[in-house]
């Protein structure tokens, strides 16, 4: 074998070596990858799953309920002046816009000049994720509260259906939240309850956390959820379960789950599903549900407190179950002109003004596991 010549190697210019050091690539550019900074990307799904209205020139929006009425036989000779009971009864629900929700970052012009990667686009994207995450969390909490509420129609001698809570499994353990067969039964029970309460089948959805969703997928073929349209690679891609009992299923890390968002680790109990952490997952996963009661600064609607969601493990609802009012839709603003000159940089600001609350409790179903979740509205379900 011929040997490669080593003559004159010392005279070869090595632009990648630091001061002629041994590492010939030390000074070569370390290419930026935006994937490093994306972290957890939360899809904003709630906005299209509930009733959304745009608010202008006001602080709140009124939604009107009409209760049931009845049919009666006409007596010859009697005038027809409306039902004697004054039906249908009417009630209202008002949703107020919360204070301005913002997420911002300051980009120093010199840092932007020196950086070899595109800085503003990545920051704007992260700001959008932050707003979307908060949006979904508030809407899903409103749905959960609706599942525990009585109908706003309270007129004497009129019975209107309220929300629904369905236990996953039969044991007093949070671990039932991950039992595939129990979840499936819960979906059928929820569909039946919605039918019984006269809720439209159009626009019914269910939202589970990712581990629940994948528990269903892993059991496809043995749990009766054989989807002929999603097998093979589609199944492996996480799209094996499309719907159960006509309820389209979504997965989200933003539903209240055992007083946490998305998932919870630890020993099995009445308020914990007993999932062992798969490793060093960090503190972000399983973030605790924060206090978002109406007395918290910036919040003008009631979204509940952490303890109220100790046994919540999934949501099933129809589009009329909750509403969102938006005074300012998601926007991005960037400073410029004199402000940029004075501070030698720009503020990138994402903002929105919205409020959410349940509308029709009958269209809201909350899945619970473990101990029973008390509610003052239970008797009116």
Distance CA 359, CA 372 (A): 24
Residue 161: φ, ψ to 5°? -70, 145
Q: Is residue 180 part of a domain?
A: yes
Q: What is the SS3 assignment for 347?
A: strand
Query: What are the tokens at 275?
Result: 């999932």
Q: Is residue 76 part of a domain?
A: no
Distance CA 201, CA 355 (A): 26
Question: In terms of DSSP bridges, do strands 51-54 and 164-167 run parallel, antiparallel, or are they unpaired?
Answer: unpaired
What pLDDT score was predicted for residue 378? Answer: 41
Q: pTM for this one?
A: 0.80
Residue numbers in the chain where pLDDT is lower than 70: 1-16, 24-43, 115-117, 220-241, 279-286, 294, 372-381
Query: Among 162, 251, 167, 153, which Cα is nearest to 199's?
Result: 162
Q: Is residue 73 part of a domain?
A: no
pLDDT tens-digit map of 324-351: 999 988 877 888 888 888 888 888 888 8
- Contact 270/227 with Cβ under 8 angstroms? no
Q: Is residue 6 part of a domain?
A: no
Q: Is residue 21 part of a domain?
A: no
Please give the sequence-ordered ranges of beta strands (E in DSSP) within the chain, or none if there are none.
Answer: 51-54, 60-66, 90-96, 101-108, 164-167, 205-208, 243-244, 247-251, 256-257, 260-261, 312-317, 322-334, 345-358, 364-368
Q: Is residue 89 part of a domain?
A: no
Range of the domain at 364: 35-65+94-380
Query: What are the tokens at 330?
Result: 């998601």
What pLDDT score was predicted for residue 37? Answer: 34
CA atoms within 13 A of residue 36's CA, in its CB half-sphere: 6
Angle between helix axes 210-218 and 180-196 (nearest 10 degrees) is: 110
**Structural domains in the chain (count):** 1
What pLDDT score was predicted for residue 222? Answer: 60
Q: Is residue 9 part of a domain?
A: no
What pLDDT score was predicted for residue 31? Answer: 43
What pLDDT score was predicted for residue 6? Answer: 53
Which DSSP helix (H) or strand (E) runs through 184?
A: helix 180-196
Q: Is residue 24 part of a domain?
A: no
Q: How far is CA 39 from CA 89, 116, 125, 129, in A?
A: 50, 20, 11, 10
Query: Among 151, 127, 93, 130, which Cα is nearest to 301's?
Result: 93
Q: Tell me how far the alpha carbon of residue 19 is from its chain's centroid.
A: 53
What pLDDT score was predicted for residue 168? Answer: 93
- DSSP result, 111-164: HHHH-SS-HHHHHHHHHHHHHHHHHHHHHHHHHHHHTTPPPS---TT------E
pLDDT tens-digit map of 95-124: 899 999 888 888 888 877 776 667 777 777
């Amino acid at each position: 074998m011929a040997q490669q010549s080593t003559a004159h190697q010392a005279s070869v210019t090595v632009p990648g070596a630091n001061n002629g050091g041994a590492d010939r690539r030390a000074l070569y550019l370390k290419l930026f990858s935006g994937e490093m900074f994306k972290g957890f990307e939360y899809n904003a799904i709630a906005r299209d799953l509930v009733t959304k209205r745009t608010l202008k020139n006001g602080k709140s929006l009124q939604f009107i309920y009409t209760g049931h009425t009845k049919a009666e036989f006409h007596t010859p000779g009697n005038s027809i002046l409306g039902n004697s009971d004054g039906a249908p009864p009417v009630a209202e629900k008002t949703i107020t816009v919360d204070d301005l929700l913002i997420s911002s970052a300051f980009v120093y012009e010199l840092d932007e000049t020196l950086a070899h990667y595109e800085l503003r686009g990545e920051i704007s994207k992260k700001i959008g994720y932050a707003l979307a995450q908060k949006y979904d969390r508030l809407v899903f909490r409103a749905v959960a509260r609706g599942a525990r509420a009585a109908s706003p129609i309270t007129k004497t001698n009129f019975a209107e259906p309220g929300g629904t809570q369905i236990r996953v499994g039969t044991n007093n353990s949070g671990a039932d939240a991950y039992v595939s067969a129990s979840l499936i039964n819960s979906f059928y029970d929820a569909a039946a309850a919605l039918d019984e309460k006269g809720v439209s089948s159009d626009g019914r959805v269910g939202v589970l956390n990712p581990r629940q969703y994948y528990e269903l997928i892993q059991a496809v073929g043995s749990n009766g959820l054989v989807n002929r349209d999603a097998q093979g690679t589609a199944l492996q891609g996480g799209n094996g379960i499309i719907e159960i009992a006509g309820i389209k299923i979504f997965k989200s890390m933003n539903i209240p789950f055992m007083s946490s968002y998305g998932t919870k680790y630890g020993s099995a109990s009445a308020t914990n599903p007993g999932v062992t952490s798969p490793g060093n997952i960090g503190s972000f996963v399983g973030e605790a549900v924060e206090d978002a009661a109406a007395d918290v600064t910036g919040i003008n609607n009631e979204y509940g407190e952490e303890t109220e969601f100790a046994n919540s493990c999934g949501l099933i609802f129809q589009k009329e179950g909750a509403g969102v009012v938006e005074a300012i839709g998601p926007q991005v603003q960037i400073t410029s002109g004199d402000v940029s000159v004075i501070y030698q940089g720009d503020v990138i600001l994402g903002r929105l003004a919205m409020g959410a609350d349940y509308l029709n409790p009958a269209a809201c179903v909350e899945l619970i596991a473990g101990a029973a979740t008390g509610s003052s509205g239970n008797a009116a379900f």
